[in-house]
Structure 1
Amino acid sequence: MTEAIEYFSDITLMITHYNRSKSLERLLSELKKANCRFYDIVVSDDSSMPEHLEYIEKLHNDYDFRLITVPVNKGLGNNLNKGQDAVETPFTLYIQEDFIPLENFAKHLKDGYALLKEREDFDMVRFYAYNKYPYLKYYKDGFSEMLFKWWYPGLDKFAYYSDHPHLKRSNFAQKFGRYLEGTSGDKTEFTMMMSFIKRGGKAFFYDEHKSVLEQVNSSSEPSTMTRNVWRNSDNFFVSQIRTIYRYINCYSGLYLRKV
């Protein structure tokens, strides 16, 4: 028996892309297999190389989407902003091109969408994270409300917003501002994270956060996000300095810097 197609008429799928056309094809293919259909699909490209753009154009034979690109690479912030500007529906599902949906993805998306329809005071639903958010209050259907208080221990509480796959209201920028452009992807994400906290953002988090989508980086199309050695070093002294810096950066961002 063929599984029924789940059509999300209020949701646009927005995919950010840069030089990973085969990964994009894989994501579109897996979503089709998952029987998910959206009102629109926007592929926001950050000036990929010609061979990738040519390959993407050929994908139109099998998939219905709009490609929005620029002649010069302008970074993550611009890619997110121009993609979001093209969305015409009340809700946006954001997924990077190197993810694939897992079993029951359509059900989890449907449940997350229902939460945002039910709770108009919430801004987004998060489906993936490297680590489980530390402060959660269970709500229903496997989702929990994310909780943030400045006095909660540790730094992981600041990961209240993330650029990892999520469903959000398409008027997100009206409340939290546009993504910061002309800087690194990490700083773009950090700035939005602080804006989300300081402007009273509210989000649901799927507790089994590795069971909805999987991030897949192949050797032929590895991650395009680069980070410096200082950030990734396992040296004990470097890690201690890095932790102190993160505390200063997070709390100064919360109280001293404007967003």
Structure 2
Amino acid sequence: MTAPQHFKDITLLITHYNRSSSLERLLATFRQLQVSFEAIVVSDDGSQSEHLAYIAELTKTYPFTLVTAAKNSGLGNNINKGQDAVRTPYTVYVQEDFVPSSLFSGRLLDAWQFMEDDASLDVVRFYAYFRYPSLKPFKNGFSEMRFKPLAIFNTYRKFYFYSDHPHLRRSNFFNKFGRYKEGVKGDVTEYKMMMSFLKNKARGLFYDDFTTLFEQRNSSDEPSTMHRRSYKNSTNVFISFVRHVFRHVKFNINYYLVKL
């Protein structure tokens, strides 16, 4: 068991929708790991009544602020209103279906110190589905993400500088990057913020061993609430090639020609 660690400058922001058992697991794991924050904000996106009732019971065990919504308004609205409730200089953003490992506390301490030492750093990423394609070694197992816009024949994955996966950011990042786009699908919200990060010259770090600090868990009882069309995830060789070309062209056009 690692030593207790309290992060007085950091609020844990958790977005939630109809997965109260997953939320409980996340909160319980942080407690088991003896990792605590100055505050915890749970932003709910209009969950069903049974989940809201369960969350009300959780507040008796875990100290957190619940930010509710009258109706389901999408990912952008859910993150925006949750971030508005944060009062500390830094925010750790985690969706409710993630589970931290025992390694996370030490790496979060590193990330916080990096951002304290360098005011130009905007984000430190802890988890990803794939390695960011252009990295410069930094320290303590982290690398700096280097976006190279003029490398036009490079993989389109270079555009995935921002991600909704677990990360540490400055709580005033709206001032530089704007608020999350509301009234659109979740993947569009994430894409718009990704483009804002790139166009506003964000600086960020990426944890090299990116699958070791968090695990994403979904079950049949509480499946993922993000649904994408089948062609977006297809492994068919032809579809994958067409998807690669389409994204490469689309991302470059949006980066160079489309205003935020």
Shift of 1:75: 0.3
2:183 equivalent to 1:182: yes
Query: Which residue in the other structure is 2:248 paired with?
Result: 247
2:120 equivalent to 1:126: no
Do the aligned residues in 2 keep the contact of 1:123 with 1:203 (CA within 8 Å)? Answer: yes
Aligned 1:73-92 pairs, distance under 5 A: 73-92=72-91
Shift of 1:3: 4.5
Structure 2 unaligned blocks of 5 or more: none
Query: Which residue in the other structure is 1:94 paired with?
Result: 93
- Worse-matched range after superposition: 234-243 or 185-194: 234-243
User: Cα RMSD over matched residues?
Assistant: 1.1
Write the deviation string for residues 144-186 of structure 1: whole angstroms up to 9, x where unpaired: 1110111331111111111100000001010000000000111
Write the deviation string for residues 190-213 of structure 1: whole angstroms up to 9, x where unpaired: 111011001010001110001111
Query: Which residue in the other structure is 2:40 paired with?
Result: 41
Structure 1 residue ranges, 4+ long, deviating more than 4 angstroms after superposition = none
Structure 1 unaligned blocks of 5 or more: none
Do the aligned residues in 2 keep the contact of 1:128 with 1:206 (CA within 8 Å)? Answer: yes
Residue 14 of structure 2 aligns to a residue in which SS? strand
Residue 189 of structure 1 aligns to a residue in which SS? helix
Q: Distance in 2 between matches of 1:115 and 1:185?
A: 30
Query: Which residue in the other structure is 1:172 paired with?
Result: 173
Q: Distance in 2 between matches of 1:157 and 1:241?
A: 18
Q: Distance in 1 between matches of 2:39 and 2:236?
A: 46
Q: Which amino acid aligns with 1:57?
A: A
What TM-score, normalized by structure 2, do the two folds share? 0.96
Q: Which amino acid aligns with 2:109?
A: K
Write the deviation string for residues 111-164 of structure 1: whole angstroms up to 9, x where unpaired: 111110011111010000000111111111111111011133111111111110
Q: Which amino acid aligns with 2:215?
A: E
Residue 148 of structure 1 aligns to a residue in which SS? coil
Shift of 1:243: 1.9
Q: Distance in 2 between matches of 1:219 and 1:157?
A: 33
Aligned residues: 258
Same amino acid, percent of matched pairs = 52
Query: Which residue in the other structure is 2:204 paired with?
Result: 203
Do the aligned residues in 2 keep the contact of 1:34 with 1:105 (CA within 8 Å)? Answer: no
Q: Distance in 1 between matches of 2:59 and 2:13?
A: 16
Aligned 1:1-259 pairs, distance under 5 A: 3-152=2-151, 153-259=154-260
Q: Distance in 2 between matches of 1:243 and 1:89?
A: 40
